[in-house]
Amino acid sequence: MGLLDKVDNLDDEKPAKAVAKKAQPKKAVAKKAQPKKAVAKKAQPKKAAKAAKKAKPDGEKRIRPSGLPEGYELTGKMPRYIGWLINFAWNFGVAIGLLSILATGADSDLTIGWAAAFLMIILNWLVLPIWTGRNIGEFVSRSKYMNSSGAKPFPLHAVLNNSLGFMGLIGMILMFVYFQDISGSGMVPFIIGVVMIVLWIVNFFLKKNSDYSQGIFDLAFSAYLVNHVATGTETGWMARFESLGDFGDKWQEKQAARQEKAEKKAEERAKAAAEAAEAKDAEAEDAEVSED
C-alpha cells in the first residue's frame, strides 16, 4: 500500500509541472506591450505642430514695424481713404464751391465765404493738429499718428504732413501763373512751385511703395498712422470730435456691404457663364452625335 501511495503522490505532482509550463503565455502578453513604442512615435507630429505654432509669432514680428510700440495696430486702407477724403472736402470744399460760383460770372460778394474757407483750413491745418495731434479726417476715421516711443509726434510733424496737399496745389498755381515769365522775374516763383510739386510726388510714391504707408515726414519723425480707440472719458469739444468716428464706422460698414454684394454678383456671373459654356458644349456634342 505504501508503494501505491507513493505512486499516487507522483501522479499528483505531474500536473503541477504542467501548470508551470502553461504559464508561458505571460511572455506573449509582454510582447503585446510593444505597441507603446509606436504610440511614442505617433507623438512626434505634436512636437512638429508645437514647433510650427512657435514659428508663427516670429513671422508676425517680421511683418510688424520694428519701431511701432506694442498695443497699436496700423490703420487699414479704408480708414486712410476716408480720412483723406474728409480732409480734402473740409479743406477745399468751400473754396471749390466759391470758385465754381465765380466761374459762372455771378457778380456777388463772397467775402464771408472766403473767410469761412480760410478759417476751416487754419482749424484743420494748424489748430487741431497742435491741440489734439489729429485733424478732422483722423477723427472721422478713428486714427492717429504715434511715434516709436508710444507718444504723439512733435507738433511740427502734423503741420508739415497737413501742408503737403497745400504744397501740391500752390505749386501748380505758381507754375501756371509764372510759366510765361520764366526768363524774367517769374523764375524764382516757378522753381518754388516745381519744388513743392516734387515734394508732393515723392511723398505720394513713398506712401504707395512703403509697407507701412509712411511718407517723407513720417519717416523723418518715425511716425506711424495707427488705429485710435476712444477712452470714453472725453468731454466737451473732444467728445464731439470723437463722436465723428461713428460716421466713419457707418461708412466702413456700408463699403464692406457693397464689396460683399459685388463679390456675390461676380460669383453668380461666373456660375452663369460656366453653365452657359457647359450647355454649349452639350449642344455641340449632341450635334456631332446626330451627324454621325
Using the predicted structure, report yes or no on whether residue 46 has a pLDDT greater than 60: no
- Supply the pLDDT for residue 42: 43
Report, as an integer, the average pLDDT of 31-39. Answer: 46
**Pairing state between β 143-147 and 223-227:** antiparallel
Instruction: Quickly state the pLDDT bin for 66 (edges 50, 70, 90).
Output: low
pTM comes to 0.65
Each residue of 151-197: pLDDT tens digit?
Answer: 888 889 998 998 998 888 899 988 988 888 888 888 898 999 999 99
C-alpha 143/C-alpha 75 separation (Å) is 7
Cβ-contact 140, 84 below 8 angstroms: no
Domain boundaries, the chain: 65-253
Q: pLDDT tier at 43 (50, 70, 90 boundaries)?
A: very low
Across all residues in the chain, what is the average pLDDT? 77
Region 224-240 average pLDDT = 84
Confidence of residue 289 (pLDDT cuts 50, 70, 90): confident
Mean pLDDT of 250-266: 85
Pick the closest to residue 98 from 115, 85, 77 (CA basis). Answer: 115
CA–CA gap between residue 66 and residue 212 (Å, rounded): 11
3-state secondary structure of 20: helix
